[in-house]
Structure 1
Amino acid sequence: MATETEVGALLHQRGWRTAFTVAEAVNTWAALVHVIERGYTDEIHEYTNDLYCRNWLHEAWLLLDEHIVQLWTQQIEALDDRYRAATVDDDGYALGQFHKLPGPDLWWWRRRPRILTGELERSLCSVQQEKRPAAGRSGP
């Protein structure tokens, strides 16, 4: 297993834009969860980009020294619980219309914010309306 510095550098080499620290990634996830709880107003592509902070934590957890994982797990699990409470499970239907969904172990991609506002609301509501059958239509 690797140190936090080694993992940050390794993930940066794998394509992450910088060598993040666990603290930076956790703080970014916490900030995103906070915004989602109050109503995310940016557009859909910004939202999907923001979700990648949780991906970074997922990838880092597979590589980090067990001691570091133990130090941060409780805080991340609490943030994950808040995210679940602030979102609705739709099996990725809404986000999948705008972004290729990663594997099922990245569960946060299969949820959408419970409170929809601004540009994100317009995008996700347009998907939900397309999913519904048109009023007054009868069978095929």
Structure 2
Amino acid sequence: MPTPVTDRLRAGFADRRVLGRLGAWEGMVNRLVEGWPPDGWYPATYYREDLGTRDELADVADAELVPALAEVDRRFREATVDDGGQALAAATGRPVPGDRWWWRRIPRPLPWEGPRRVSQSLRPTPPY
């Protein structure tokens, strides 16, 4: 997944670890916005891990990072709804932290529910 917000910071941002976390968060948000390519499915455990990545960025106060993170967060908020963390907790069997807003937000439809669709290019060709 492209990460244009993160890429803009690559040249001058010193902390590569933090930049990597931003890139991971932005990549997940982009997958969410694009409908979870290639098959429209994304496990709840992966989603939970991605929210943990966002946790790692919560206390970074770098002047360059803050606006970039705000841009990615805005896209995340626009693509999700607040359900209080109920759907993710139910799917993973673990409560979500209540003190971080991103843990309470989920995409609709839930990418971990329903049948996993196989992309058209991976479907076997019927013999003719």
TM-score (norm 1): 0.61
Q: Which residue of 1 aligns with 2:56?
A: 56
Task: Name the % identity.
Answer: 32
Q: Which residue of 2 aligns with 1:25?
A: 21
Distance, in Å, in 2 between the alignment partners of 1:38 and 1:82 is: 11
1 or 2, which has the higher helix percentage? 1
Aligned to 2:43: 43
Q: Which has the larger radius of gyration?
A: 1
Q: Residue in 2 aligned with 1:102?
A: 97
Aligned AA (1:72): L
Structure 2 residue corresponding to 1:111, chosen from 105, 120, 123: 105
Superposition RMSD in Å: 2.1
Cα shift at 1:85: 0.6
> Between Structure 1 and Structure 2, how many residues are aligned?
96
1:70 partnered with 2:79: no
Please give the alpha-carbon distance, in whole angstroms, between the structure 2 residues aligned to 1:116 and 1:84.
15
Structure 2 runs not aligned, ≥5 long: 1-13, 116-128
Cα deviation digits, residues 33-65 of structure 1 (max 9, x gap) = 00111223221112211221101111x42xxxx
Aligned structure 1 segments of 4 or more residues deviating by more than 6 angstroms: none
